């Protein structure tokens, strides 16, 4: 993200400022700005792709955490029932 901000977006901003400062923008300057924009968009898409991979990973971890919690609750309830049965045998 820092690279996107420090490089691609700064470059794009510079090129847009150049275009805005001209009374009649030159085609070459417009093409440079367009290339800078496409570069920034490509970098943003790469970052979003990486973020979606992390989101999927976090979803899997959360699902595993929920499964472990459910297993722990089942184990505790089973142990409680077992202790009550044993206690009932000796009473």
pTM listed for this prediction: 0.55
Q: What is the pLDDT of residue 89?
A: 80
Q: What is the mean pLDDT of residues 45-55?
A: 84
CA angle (11, 13, 19) in 5-degree steps:
105
User: pLDDT-based confidence at 74, cuts 50/70/90?
Assistant: very high
Q: Looking at residues 44-66, what average pLDDT do you find?
A: 86
Its sign, for the CA torsion 81, 86, 89, 91, is: negative
What is d(CA 44, CA 8) in angstroms, rounded to the nearest whole number? Answer: 10
Q: What is the 3-state secondary structure (H, E, C) of 18-85?
A: HHHHCCCCCHHHHHHHHHHHHHHHHHHHHHHHHHHHHHHHHHHHHHHHHHHHHHHHHHHHHHHHHHHH
Residue 4 has pLDDT above 90, yes or no: no
């Amino acid at each position: 993200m820092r690279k996107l901000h420090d490089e691609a977006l700064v470059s794009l901003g510079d090129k847009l400022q150049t275009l805005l400062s001209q009374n009649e923008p030159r085609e070459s300057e417009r093409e440079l700005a367009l290339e800078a924009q496409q570069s920034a968009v490509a970098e943003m898409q790469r970052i979003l792709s990486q973020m979606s991979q992390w989101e999927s990973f976090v979803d899997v971890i959360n699902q595993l955490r929920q499964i472990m919690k459910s297993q722990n609750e089942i184990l505790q309830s089973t142990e409680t029932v077992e202790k009550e049965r044993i206690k009932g045998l000796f009473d």
